[in-house]
Amino acid sequence: MRTTEDQRLETRTACSAFAAALLIALVFTAAGALPQRVFAQAADVPYVATPQNVVDAMLELAQVGPNDFLIDLGSGDGRIVITAAKKYGARGFGVDLDGALVSEARREAQRQGVTDKAEFYARNLFITDIANATVLTTYLFSQVNIELRPRVFSELKPGTRVVSHEFDFGNWKPDAHVRVPVPRKPYGPPSSDVYLWIVPANAAGRWQWRVPLDGAVVEWEAVLGQTFQALAGSARAGGNAARIESAKMRGDEISLVLVADVNQAPLRHELHGRIDGDSIRGTMRVSGTQQELDWQATRVSRGKINIDAATGAPRLAAGFQEDFR
């Protein structure tokens, strides 16, 4: 049984390790030579337990439910996966390099009666299969998150929620952010940031659709470039230039507001739909009418999500810009 003094020693050790590793990260980052994979495994991400109120905030922000499968990378004592299982009925697993912490998490899952939903493995997070996650949680340094980022986009399904305690994913702007008070936090200010990202579908490329209007059919075309969930581009309606007033992605959901002169009158089109491969199905409203129409668009050529940009500013995908100067 651990004594109070043992627990204090563990806390001091964890905080000292955290401070040392953070200093290493800052030094290497300033030199522009952070050895990311070596940093993540050799210096490791030191264990500092996530406060329970932060765990609750993470799961609430991700809207975890009984149909979710949660994967926690760097799971420590397992409290995120265990709480998700016990409070929300979610299934999942956690991985950690520290075998002692993995054993502790397994014992706690057994004590709380959730071993049928919560599992834990001594495993390297970089070789962990994350494809089945509907929710991915992390408490890792930003440099580690950034190294994981390509896998997030290539392996996770659109709509998967990614939640991080304290550290961001670089220039991938979060979809939501909350700050949680942590009065006894062992480092930094007495609060913790919790960030949420929703993995977007690939909307980049050239899309075409038709809009019936006043007995005629208007041919539409839009070219969209994508940086993470941000979209930008250009459009045409009936062969004439149109304006994209707004363009948003949230998972596989896309919302566009387009303005074009049709029959010498400016018309505002509000389009909402879901992307499924190279098609979008949804609804459309045209200004001046009360009717909601079905909307179906087809992607005739694909672009790529830009996840390695120097900045988060959206821009047209390579190979499309010349078409809409």
Structure tokens belonging to residue 56: 């609750």
Angle of CA points 278, 282, 288, to nearest 5°: 130
The pLDDT value recorded for residue 267 is 83
d(CA 49, CA 52): 9
pLDDT per position as a tens digit, 104-161 = 999 999 999 999 999 999 999 999 999 999 999 999 999 999 999 999 999 999 999 9
194 & 213 share domain = no
The pLDDT value recorded for residue 284 is 92
Q: 91 or 320: whose pLDDT is higher?
A: 91
pLDDT per position as a tens digit, 168-208 = 999 999 999 999 999 988 888 999 999 999 999 999 999 99
248 & 282 share domain = yes
CATH number at residue 293: 2.40.128
The pLDDT value recorded for residue 22 is 45
Domain boundaries, position 246: 205-324
Mean pLDDT of 40-69: 85
Structural domain ending residue among the three candidates 147, 180, 198: 198
The pLDDT value recorded for residue 223 is 96
Using the predicted structure, report yes or no on whether residue 263 has a pLDDT greater than 80.
no
Tokens 């149909």 locate to: 67
d(CA 26, CA 44): 14
Q: How many domains does the chain have?
A: 2
173 & 274 share domain = no
221 & 163 share domain = no
pLDDT per position as a tens digit, 206-260 = 999 998 877 788 899 999 999 999 999 999 988 889 999 999 999 999 999 999 8
In three-state secondary structure terms, 146 is helix
For residues 207 and 221, the answer to whether their CB atoms sit within 8 Å is: yes
Using the predicted structure, report yes or no on whether residue 325 has a pLDDT greater than 50.
no
The pLDDT value recorded for residue 48 is 86
40 & 181 share domain = yes
Structural domain ending residue among the three candidates 198, 228, 257: 198
The pLDDT value recorded for residue 17 is 41
d(CA 3, CA 13): 15
234 & 146 share domain = no
276 & 246 share domain = yes
d(CA 33, CA 41): 16
Closest CA to 74 of 52, 44, 104, 103: 44
35 & 182 share domain = yes
For residues 242 and 259, the answer to whether their CB atoms sit within 8 Å is: yes
The pLDDT value recorded for residue 201 is 96
Structural domain ending residue among the three candidates 168, 198, 228: 198
The pLDDT value recorded for residue 126 is 94
